[in-house]
Structure 1
Amino acid sequence: MPRLSVRHVTAYTYAEPVGFGDHRLMVRPRDSHDLRLLEATLAIDPPPERIRWLHDVFGNSVAVASFGEARSTTLRFESRLLLDLYQANLPEYQVADYARTYPFSYEAEEVPDLARTMERHYADPEHAVDLWAKGFVRVDGPTDTYDLLTWMTRAIQTTFTYAARDEEGVQTPVETLSRGTGSCRDLALLMMEAARSLGFAARFVSGYLYSPDADGTGNVGGGSTHAWCQVYLPGAGWVEFDPTNGITGNRDLIRIAVARDPAQAAPLQGSFVGPAGAFQSLVVDVTVTDASSE
């Protein structure tokens, strides 16, 4: 059980003093059986007039900062977390007997709650994603559900090129499939839509990644927020799959927010009031370190 420290800084600069609209932040995880939050602080400069907390439709913890009449050439957010992460790998999850081989059907009482996460959200007119996903289903006998999702996760890791992107939004799954490259959120969305095409319920996860190897041979995607997906498996619940790093289970993954679509899980959203050309730069810096010995 590692104890991890997270520091997440987002800093904006402007050419002249500007005002600020409300800013919506998702930087605080919820306590769970696999994550225990020990400390959490949030510092904002200039200080907001008010911060209010709420839970969104998915149960994520959201802070809304209101700045009133404040004006500044900079806006900086710094979140610090200290937490214990109880790690589990895929084989440790106990899938219900009826769902251990694919295909299977979710139980009737679960379907109404899973329905929107089972729906395809992005167009696939040539069925490229469909055909790619079906390639992981065995034709010579039953397909083990674990194996199918593990093969898909590792295939994305090994055959697609990870590329960090500063642009907002995501590539469509068809674009990622055709280009063979994408950011962590693009790769997560591809796996979500591929899993949905096979009848699985899948959702997007935003959070942080611990990369323990300082020589660069470990996980990729650190230094900023990270994204992966969850697939709902009867008996096991929502299980993490990180196709960027080939991780099955929650090892090294710090979950902050879950959502039906990536746009609903943005770590920070807001606006400024001033000339359109006033914006100069945005810098995001995330560090996740082992705090077990502290």
Structure 2
Amino acid sequence: MPVLTISHVTHYKYRQPVAFGEHRIMVRPRESYDQRLIEARLDIDPPPANLRWLHDVFGNSVAIARFDRRATALRFASFVRLEHFPVAREHVDVEAYARRYPFTYSSEDMPDLLRSIERQHHDPHRVIDGWARRFVAESGATDTVAMLSDMTATIKRDFTYVPRHEKGTQTPTETLKKMQGTCRDFAVLMIEAVRALGFAARFVSGYVYNPSRGEGRVGGGNTHAWVRVFLPGSGWVEFDPTNGIVGNRGLVRVAVARDPYQAVPLSGSWSGMPSSAAGMDVSVEIHLEDAQDFATAAVQAVAGRGDTC
């Protein structure tokens, strides 16, 4: 049971004092049976005139900050300690009726899963459908978990990870055409592909760390993105196509949403002269407190925007 400390700092800089509009902060990990918060602190400088917390429609913790003073810098620092309980692929236990694809979700689950099954991207030539069908056996039923694991591994193997710190994602068809992208691009591609096969899937934003020295992870230094697919018997199961991970080993959930724009870690506005903006720095540091031979799980600082890898 690893105990992690996560430091996530975002620092905006300006050449002249500017005024700040409302900011929305989503950096507090979700508490669940597989991750338990020990401590969570959010420091903002300059201090906001008002800071309130809420749960969004998906149950994510969101902080809303409002400011009443001008400044030449704005800094958000999140510090978290949590217990993480890794769940590996072999612990995914799917109900008998869903172990082979195709299957249909139960009448009890379907009403709540429909929006997570709906396609979100225009694909008139069914390019994503065709790619997704490659993972389905031509004759006979296909093992459900094996198929999803194969898709996860294929994206990691065949696509090139290229960091991009600007906001937004490529469309799934763009990612398929370029055969490269960021973690959020790969997540969106896999979400659309499994939705094309009738699965309920959601976008996840959070943090990635190396559980041990021999397990390299891509996507550190900023927030990370992956996929959750609903499988009867195990519920929402993690699939990280960037790293080829099935299960939550090395993955800490912060936000779960139907679409990436609903899971942006930090967003807000400022007003002043356009030339005032002097850049932004983001750093994410993750330490394994109880590791004997690999104390630092991920320590990396990057300059860019406050978006997912």
Q: What TM-score does the superposition give when structure 2 sets the normalisation length?
A: 0.92
What is the alpha-carbon distance in structure 2 between the residues aligned to residue 128 and residue 287 of structure 1? 38
1:212 CA displacement: 4.6
* Aligned: 1:141 with 2:140: yes
What is the alpha-carbon distance in structure 1 between the residues aligned to residue 77 and residue 28 of structure 2? 12
1:108 CA displacement: 1.2
The aligned amino acid for 1:74 is A
Residue by residue, what CA displacement relative to the aligned partner does 1:67-111 show, whole Å, maximum 9, x if unpaired?
A: 12x111111100010001100112202111100000000011211
* SS of aligned partner of 2:283: strand
Residues 1-294 of structure 1 correspond to what in structure 2 (within 5 A)? 1-68=1-68, 70-212=69-211, 218-292=216-290
What is the alpha-carbon distance in structure 1 between the residues aligned to residue 213 and residue 10 of structure 2? 23
The aligned amino acid for 2:271 is V
1:232 CA displacement: 0.3
Residue by residue, what CA displacement relative to the aligned partner does 1:42-76 show, whole Å, maximum 9, x if unpaired?
A: 111111111100000000000011112x1111111
The aligned amino acid for 1:222 is G
The aligned amino acid for 1:277 is S
Contact kept? 1:206, 1:225, Cα under 8 Å: yes
Contact kept? 2:93, 2:234, Cα under 8 Å: yes
What is the alpha-carbon distance in structure 1 between the residues aligned to residue 130 and residue 90 of structure 2? 27
* SS of aligned partner of 1:292: coil
What is the alpha-carbon distance in structure 1 between the residues aligned to residue 30 and residue 241 of structure 2? 23
The aligned amino acid for 2:81 is L
Residue by residue, what CA displacement relative to the aligned partner does 1:221-273 show, whole Å, maximum 9, x if unpaired?
A: 00100000100001110000000000000000000000000000000010001
Contact kept? 2:172, 2:189, Cα under 8 Å: yes
1:283 CA displacement: 1.0
Contact kept? 1:39, 1:82, Cα under 8 Å: yes
The aligned amino acid for 2:207 is Y
What is the alpha-carbon distance in structure 1 between the residues aligned to residue 100 and residue 244 of structure 2? 21
What is the alpha-carbon distance in structure 2 between the residues aligned to residue 13 and residue 50 of structure 1? 21
Contact kept? 1:211, 1:288, Cα under 8 Å: no
Q: What TM-score does the superposition give when structure 1 sets the normalisation length?
A: 0.97
Q: CA RMSD in A?
A: 1.3
Q: Displaced runs of 4+ in structure 1, greater than 6 A?
A: none
Identity of aligned residues (%): 55
Contact kept? 1:24, 1:62, Cα under 8 Å: yes
What is the alpha-carbon distance in structure 1 between the residues aligned to residue 103 and residue 92 of structure 2? 17
* SS of aligned partner of 2:175: helix
1:214 CA displacement: 6.4
* SS of aligned partner of 2:135: coil
What is the alpha-carbon distance in structure 2 between the residues aligned to residue 145 and residue 197 of structure 1? 14
What is the alpha-carbon distance in structure 1 between the residues aligned to residue 286 and residue 151 of structure 2? 27
* SS of aligned partner of 1:29: coil
What is the alpha-carbon distance in structure 2 between the residues aligned to residue 40 and residue 75 of structure 1? 20
* SS of aligned partner of 2:238: strand
* SS of aligned partner of 2:149: helix
The aligned amino acid for 1:278 is S
What is the alpha-carbon distance in structure 1 between the residues aligned to residue 241 and residue 139 of structure 2? 26
Contact kept? 2:52, 2:63, Cα under 8 Å: yes
Contact kept? 1:211, 1:220, Cα under 8 Å: no
Count of residues paired in the alignment: 292
Contact kept? 1:24, 1:65, Cα under 8 Å: yes
* SS of aligned partner of 1:171: coil
